[in-house]
Chains A and B, each alone.
Chain A
Amino acid sequence: NAGVTQTPKFQVLKTGQSMTLQCAQDMNHNSMYWYRQDPGMGLRLIYYSASEGTTDKGEVPNGYNVSRLNKREFSLRLESAAPSQTSVYFCASNWDRANQPQHFGDGTRLSIL
């Protein structure tokens, strides 16, 4: 049971480099999300996608772009990485019903030097 798969698990970047975090889910969920987790601040929503072809900003979208490639895949791109983007990134997905929990990937630990 794969669930939500994120790649890579770890990455170190230099300031100004770009990279794309990949996320795929095999549960046929319509909605997908990207969060970042910083110490002492819980998880904060970066972007989300309610369905294939749609994306919208969350609480902390600056410095990021997303692509909902198809129903399964939702990628997060850092165009010019900054040290402030050092964080753990989680992808999640869920059914569009109020009582359905979001299923999370294992996270990507990203360090920007």
Chain B
Amino acid sequence: AQKITQTQPGMFVQEKEAVTLDCTYDTSDPSYGLFWYKQPSSGEMIFLIYQGSYDQQNATEGRYSLNFQKARKSANLVISASQLGDSAMYFCAMRGAGGTSYGKLTFGQGTILTVHP
């Protein structure tokens, strides 16, 4: 079984500063993918970034980067130069690559990020 844990129910950051949102995971699959999604107050789910379990380098997408530490089973999202529009709920999710986990996303409980001006 797969499990995602996000231990920060809420985070606050000052505009233009960087913030790290924590995510730890547990799986017995040797191959898996990790995703981060953003859910603004309007409710849609927006894909931010992906990290494969065999990727040698940490993923980056613009102001988003993923601090992937495989041995610690953590996949923290780093948002640099925070903007007011970054205020939203953020979800970490994992997808297995084989067996009964194949294709299915398991989500964490989410972290609400508030960016202060």
Contact = CB atoms under 8 A, between A and B. Distances in A.
B103 A48 contact: yes
Interface residues of B, number: 24
B107 A101 contact: no
B104 interface: yes
Interface residues of A, number: 24
Contacts, number: 53
A101 B95 CA distance: 9
B109 interface: yes
Interface stretch (B12-20, B43-51, B79-87): B43-51
Contacts of A112: none
Interface string B34-64: 0100000001110100101000000000000
A107 B45 CA distance: 9
B9 to A, nearest CB: 8
B7 interface: no
A98 interface: yes
A40 interface: yes
Contacts of B109: 40-42
B103 A50 contact: yes
B43 A107 contact: yes
Contacts of A102: 35, 47, 105
Contacts of B43: 88, 106-107
B25 interface: no
Contacts of A40: 109
A104 interface: yes
Given A98-B31, A99-B50, A104 B45 contact: yes
Contact of B44 (A42, A43, A107): A107
Interface of B: 4, 31-33, 35, 43-45, 47, 50, 52, 91, 93, 95, 97, 102-110
Given A43-B93, A99-B33, 15 more contacts: A33-B104, A40-B109, A42-B108, A42-B109, A42-B110, A43-B91, A43-B105, A43-B107, A44-B107, A45-B104, A50-B103, A94-B103, A101-B50, A103-B47, A107-B43
